[in-house]
Structure 1
Amino acid sequence: MEASEIHPQAQAYLDRQERLPLYPLRDRNLRFLRSFMRVANWFQNRDPPAVGSTADRTIPGPDGDLPIRVYRPEGEGPFPVTMFFHGGGFVIGDLGSHDLFCRHLTRESDCVVVSVDYRLAPEHPFPAAVEDAYAATEWAAEHGDELDSDGHLAVAGDSAGGNLSAVVSLLAAERDGPDVDYQALLYPGVGLAGDHPSEEHTGIVLLEEDMEWFRESYFGSELTMRNPYADPVQACDLSGMPPATVITAGFDPLRDGGKAYAERLVADGVPVRYDNYDDMIHGFASAPGANGIDRAMEAVEQIADDLRDAFGTSS
């Protein structure tokens, strides 16, 4: 499942990260950590790729105003809409941390991309992020005119955001909620309760103590991790789920959990495209064009192509 060695560009990224005084994350003051990452994201996003327009606004959320950023492609609408949920272990990340990814996805897919700034743990543990993600998806389905939507709706996310995308799809299917046409998941944080061979790669990007911190902050206990709305692999039936793209990375402790989710979907009759980037690391696609990893754009283009196919908008 992994290549003989990490891709040189990914290794160079790891070498640069080791020079930052951040790891392990759980040992850092959380306010400082989030502020530091916002500054780093500002430098990273100084020359972003152009899209038709971007707009920051708030929508009604379960606990007050919920910030979102709407990316609109160039050209005449209407367009399909893709909800995006960022990664960061449910503890870090915001609209800025994945701005480059959302811009590239907007350009490549010709979708309106709605990035959701959901509440973070430990201040807001499970199910706060789920409630926000689902509420934002419901809002998008009900306010298509404000988004110039053509009626098609997908969800996408990386890592923790991949978890949220899968959970939103499950909630929508079980509650007869928004009609989600597709789910696109990058190295999703799912299948977390089992013991997986890929956990040998703990320490590459994701340190063991940081993974434990993320889980403690968001889930609180192992009992919560058995809840299908915390981890959709725990669901009894996934047959009502939308088709999926699941991308994993060879040198990622989350790899086998993502693969297990893809296998569960297939077993329940859901069409799945599963690809393992065997020489890549966790988070490799989060900032295409900024982290020096060419395969980041390859992953964005793959997801964009799959969204186009799902929406019937392939050129």
Structure 2
Amino acid sequence: MSPLHPQVRHLVATLATRPPAAPWEVPITAYREAGERLAALAGPPDDGCAVTDLTIPVRRGSVDARRYRPPGQTVGPAVLYLHGGGFVRGSLDSHDRLCRALCVRGGLGVVAVAYRLAPENRFPAAHDDALDALRWVSEHAGELSIDVTALAVAGDSSGGMLAAATALATRSGGPPLKAQGLVCPALDATMSSGSVDRYHAGPILTREALAWSYDQYIPDTDDRRSARASPLFEENLADAPPAIIISAQIDPVADDARRYAAALAAAGVAVDTHEYAGMPHSFVLLTGMLEDGDHALTTFATGLAELLNSG
């Protein structure tokens, strides 16, 4: 196993003083509350953008959303952002610092979406919410001051799966996307990547926790082999939007990112990849303690901006 970065070792030692309970050992509400508390590890929020809460109608009701606007921007490129959390937890607040940084550092409008969570809402509920929200944002681009010709979808971890699946879905009648951004994406619900076993013990994400998360959202194993649930199973990636992919080396889903980047490139899709040595899953949410997390977040924001602002 490759060595952890010294800052990660310090983080792990700090967390070990109050080790979190396994998700299956506590009520789902307690697990979600514990995830919200981790937001403090992202450092102080960037106040350099305007923030407004929204409600977006979807096919089964509505979802909460949050809009971020760069200072002084009238109409510009934008990103629909889908948070991680294993489909079970995560919220607008848990990823608020990340979205603020994406907005300010990339000069991008951001619309973050709080899709429905499992196990109350199983597959394909979150997928449907993501696609419906993207369509709504595209249809209301004018009032949101968004350049509809410069729109991207992005997400981290489970949100990375939703972003990749949404980007593929838009090829057949959805809003045209200029880019997709994936951070530590979980792209194979069958967990066939070698990294799942190499880094089964984490830190941050373990094989057992990953398997539990898939059980909550996609309990039907046949569904897990569909390209919608596992974008790595998509045989035709032609015409997928250009991608920037940020990944961590010490991560059970590290090979998901590598495999998908290779598949996109083989299909002729432009892809920019950045794997951070010694970093764990979701390290971009730990920017208050990990310098590489902060660097990766800037790389992600500026990389998306370059794709969206390109001719």
Structure-2-length-normalised TM-score = 0.94
Partner of 1:12: 10
Deviations 1:163-189 (A, max 9, x none): 01100001101x221111101101100
Structure 2: distance between partners of 1:212 and 1:103: 31
Answer whether contact 1:187 1:249 (CA < 8 A) is retained: yes
Structure 1: distance between partners of 2:244 and 2:74: 25
Partner of 2:96: 99
Q: Is 1:251 matched with 2:250?
A: yes
2:131 to 106, 130, 134: 134
The Cα shift of 1:38 comes to: 3.1
Matches within 5 A, 1:152-301: 152-173=150-171, 175-193=172-190, 195-199=192-196, 200-204=198-202, 205-288=204-287, 290=288, 292-301=289-298
Partner of 1:119: 116
Answer whether contact 1:22 1:28 (CA < 8 A) is retained: no
Structure 1: distance between partners of 2:262 and 2:310: 27
SS in structure 2 at match of 1:144: coil
Structure 2: distance between partners of 1:273 and 1:44: 27
Answer whether contact 1:249 1:255 (CA < 8 A) is retained: yes
Cα pair distance change 1:40/1:306, threshold 3 Å: closer
Larger CA deviation: 252-261 vs 44-53: 44-53
The Cα shift of 1:33 comes to: 1.7
SS in structure 1 at match of 2:53: strand
Answer whether contact 2:152 2:308 (CA < 8 A) is retained: no
The one-letter code matched in structure 1 to 2:27 is: N
Partner of 1:149: 146
Answer whether contact 2:81 2:112 (CA < 8 A) is retained: yes
Deviations 1:60-94 (A, max 9, x none): 01221210011111113212110110111101101
Matched length = 308
Partner of 1:67: 64
SS in structure 1 at match of 2:284: coil
Answer whether contact 2:49 2:100 (CA < 8 A) is retained: no
Larger CA deviation: 98-107 vs 303-312: 303-312
The Cα shift of 1:310 comes to: 1.2
Deviations 1:120-165 (A, max 9, x none): 1111011000000001111111101121112210011110010011
2:20 to 10, 19, 22: 22
Structure 2: distance between partners of 1:233 and 1:39: 32
Structure 2: distance between partners of 1:45 and 1:312: 28
The Cα shift of 1:18 comes to: 2.2
The one-letter code matched in structure 2 to 1:134 is: L
Answer whether contact 1:73 1:106 (CA < 8 A) is retained: yes
1:85 to 64, 82, 85: 82
Structure-1-length-normalised TM-score = 0.93
1:56 to 45, 48, 53: 53
The one-letter code matched in structure 2 to 1:148 is: S
Identity of aligned residues (%): 33
Structure 2: distance between partners of 1:15 and 1:39: 17
SS in structure 1 at match of 2:169: helix
Structure 1: distance between partners of 2:4 and 2:89: 26
Unmatched tracts of structure 2, length 5 or more: none
Structure 2: distance between partners of 1:39 and 1:308: 30
Answer whether contact 2:189 2:229 (CA < 8 A) is retained: no
| C-alpha RMSD of matched pairs (Å) | 1.8
Unmatched tracts of structure 1, length 5 or more: none
Answer whether contact 1:70 1:112 (CA < 8 A) is retained: yes
Structure 1: distance between partners of 2:4 and 2:192: 23
